[in-house]
Structures are given as C-alpha cells and as structure tokens.
Structure 1
C-alpha cells in the first residue's frame, strides 16, 4: 500500500515538475524583456518636430512619425477639405499641392516634408472670391456628391501647370504640337482622380474652360 502511494506521489511530482519546466521555458526572463538603450518599444510613438507652410501660414508641430500628411491636415490642422477616400492612393480624393506638385497626401509621411509649402483646397479661394477652377466646376456642374471635388480641383490646377511646363503624359505624342491641351490629354492626366458619380465630361469641360477653351 505504501509502495503504491509512493509511486502515485512520484508520478504527480513528475507531472508538476514537467509543467513548471514548460512554463519557465515559455516565459522570457525579465532581463530579456527589458529594451536595450535606444531601442524602440512597440506601441510607444516616436515623436518628431516638423515645420510646414500650409496655405501661406507657418505651422510647427510635434508629431508621431507615423502620421501621414493627410492626417496632419485633417486631424491636427483641421483642414478637412482634403478628403480621405481609399487611404491607399488609388482614388485621388486626398490630392494636394506640395512645393508646386500634386501628390496623394495619404501616401506620404508628414515628417518627410519638413520645410515644405503645401496648398490645399482651403488655400485656393474663398466663397467671396473663388479660384477660376472652382468657379468653372460650379459653372459646368463638375461634381455631384462633391466628395472627390477638392482633390479633383487641386489636380486640375496642377494639370494645367504641367502642360504649361511641357511635362508630357502617356498620351503625348509630340511636345511641339499646339495646342498641347486636348480631351485625351486632360483625361489621361486626370485619370488618378476617381469620380464615383461619373461627372467626368463636366470636369473636362471645366478644365478646358479655365485653359481658354483649347480642348
């Protein structure tokens, strides 16, 4: 009887010892979990200072380095005219002009553009004094729901500037031809801006109007 009890106790002790050994192996030591000097701890944001000129106003901010330029504009500067559509650079709703060139603001980090000059839809005109492209979109009914319109207008202004600089597109056959502006050129250059309502023909008319009707 005593021998049987000793055997059972031994088996129980072995099971407990095995469980404790497995647990010890699965849990890293306290020293191993401590970050080394200068290491980035998961979940703890890394902050960085950035200075930008947005619509003529200088802004100095301290941001999480993961903050996109789109989120900086919308969440930190409260310039909500620039829209977040797909957040993958596929729809063009977030198009702004950075140092004179149009970009998708959802695809770039704010800290990458320290010292840059940015223009958003809010910086183009006012209700009392519209930018010519804004007025043309109204005149030609170049929008329906309006969600993509800020990006469309910023992109359209940049398109005309690209054409003035003789920057070719994929459908440009000869840069010496005049007028370079054509329906095909406008459609190709605006192809990165999606209008879910389908107001494309009116958008082309608005751009052509601002360009002097050349298209």
Structure 2
C-alpha cells in the first residue's frame, strides 16, 4: 500500500492505496466523489476529466500515486455553494446535456479550455478542443453553444467591455 495525500476540492485528503489504483477510483470509491464518471477506462471518452494542479486530465489513466501532493478539482468542487460556476450555469441555460453522463467531463474540459484561451472561443476551436470528449446523445450543438456562452460571460468578467464591444 502507498499513502497518498492531496487537496481535493479545497480539502486535504489522505488515503492508503494499492500502487495500481487509478485517480478516478480513489475519487469515486474512497472519497465518495461520484460526479467523476468512468466511461471507457482507456482515455477515449473524457467522462473522467478532473483538474490536477490546474490542468485537465483524464483520471482513468492517471494513478492516484501520481496525484500525491497535488491539488485536484472535481465537478463537485466547481460551484461555490449554491452558485453554479459560469460553465455549469451555461450548460443548464443552453441545454448542453442530455443524459448527463458525459456532462461532468465536458464541463471540466470546458473550464480548462476557457482558462487556457482567456478569450472568446469560436465554434471550430471548441469542437477541436472537445475531440477527446464523447457525448453519445447529441450532435454537440448545445454543448458548443453552452461553452461559447460561458466563455463570453467569463471573458466579460475578466475584461469588462470586451463582450459589449465585440457584439
């Protein structure tokens, strides 16, 4: 057994795990954070995306021991109390989900995408960035629309006047 400690959604967490334990397994089975989904176990679907030290990673292909000492953010830690993160709010407002299985991974990937681009995102960029996330329910139209709306909102918060000037 290996002892790991990390900050998960702002709280210090520790666990003893087997060396082969995946981060997604630690989050779901040990820490009870079931919002991170297991879809394929091969890094193809993106349902398991979380942020480790501020970067989006597929937690089904990362060992828990690799996250030792890291800050991990899951979908459960994205909102501030009852106030949804702008990406979560945009997915709700623009119907960016169907069954909801891929939604946590899509949202976590979208937050990372928006933060890396620090500006408005066009449809082509969003679709390219989502290539590692699969939704089996939709044609991605409302997912893309949700991400564009969230990016516009967040760009306006970072750079007041930017959204109005661009419209």
Superposed pair shares fold, TM > 0.5: yes
Q: Does 1:77 align with 2:31?
A: yes
When the two structures are superposed, what TM-score results if normalisation uses the length of structure 2?
0.88
Q: Give the drift of 1:191.
A: 1.1
The aligned residue for residue 196 of structure 1 is 136
Aligned residue runs from structure 1 range 48-63, under 5 A = 48-63=2-17
Three-state SS of the structure 1 residue aligned to 2:131 is coil
The aligned residue for residue 100 of structure 1 is 54
The aligned residue for residue 84 of structure 2 is 130
Measured on the aligned residues, the alpha-carbon RMSD in Å equals 1.5
Aligned residue runs from structure 1 range 1-215, under 5 A = 47-125=1-79, 128-164=82-118, 181-212=121-152
Gaps of at least 5 residues in structure 1 are: 1-46, 165-178
**1:185–1:211: structure 2 CA closer, same or farther, 3 Å change rule?**
same
Whether the 8 Å CA contact 2:120–2:151 is kept in 1: the answer is no
When the two structures are superposed, what TM-score results if normalisation uses the length of structure 1?
0.69
The aligned residue for residue 19 of structure 1 is none
Q: Give the drift of 1:162.
A: 1.4
Aligned length: 154
Whether the 8 Å CA contact 2:120–2:148 is kept in 1: the answer is no
- Structure number with greater CO (CA < 8 Å, separation at least 6) is 2
Within 2, Cα distance between the matches of 1:66 and 1:85?
A: 18
> Which 4+ residue blocks in structure 1 deviate beyond 4 angstroms?
none
1:137-161 CA-to-partner distances (Å, cap 9, x unmatched) read: 0111001100000000000000011
Three-state SS of the structure 2 residue aligned to 1:211 is helix
Within 1, Cα distance between the matches of 2:46 and 2:94?
A: 20
Whether the 8 Å CA contact 2:3–2:14 is kept in 1: the answer is yes
**1:145–1:74: structure 2 CA closer, same or farther, 3 Å change rule?**
same
Whether the 8 Å CA contact 1:137–1:143 is kept in 2: the answer is yes
**1:199–1:57: structure 2 CA closer, same or farther, 3 Å change rule?**
farther
Gaps of at least 5 residues in structure 2 are: 153-162
